[in-house]
Amino acid sequence: MSGSPSLPNFFTQKAVVGVGDLAVSNNTTVTISTYALGSCVALVVYDSVVQAGGLIHIMLPDSGLSLEKAQKQPAMFADTGIPLMFRNLMGLRVERKRLKAFVAGGASIISGADMFKIGERNIAAVKKMVNILGIPVIRADIGGVNNRTVHLNIATGEVELKKPTGISKFSLA
């Protein structure tokens, strides 16, 4: 019947990751998404062998800015959120040596001079953490002045990146 969803699309689920949050999954009907990354940074990781991945939407680089907030919402910060995401991924049989990563965001969206340089600091903090963990970043779309939306398809490892200038798709598999 025209206009009816196809069977695979009927069962597709979307997990939306808000600011300072994360999601991991090995459910092949799930797409993990985050919207409107400005100075925030998204780290997307995927293990193609077990078809599992995760996405974190990092707001700030260092939990030292608010230890109380980091205890309540650790995914808000790069230094507490990224290790938490990797602990969650290990429960899905993900192996660090098989992971591939994508990093997006860190824009300078405040008009005029951004004296706090949050986007730049977030990018540096994420790079530091993935280097410590030994995860190869195979692609990045960082900096600039545009916001970004990111989707990770758990079944395929495909990442869709949307910016005001267009849409690109690539695979982490």
Answer whether 19's CB lies under 8 Å from 40's CB: yes
In angstroms, the CA 76 to CA 82 distance is 9
Nearest residue to 142 via CA among 44, 62, 42, 61: 42
Answer whether 137's CB lies under 8 Å from 79's CB: no
In angstroms, the CA 97 to CA 56 distance is 19
Respond yes or no: is residue 40 known to be catalytic: yes
Looking at 22, 23, 40, 52, which residue is catalytic? 40
C-alpha distances (whole Å) from 10 to each of 1, 24, 96, 160 are 14, 21, 32, 20
Which residues belong to the active site? Answer: 40
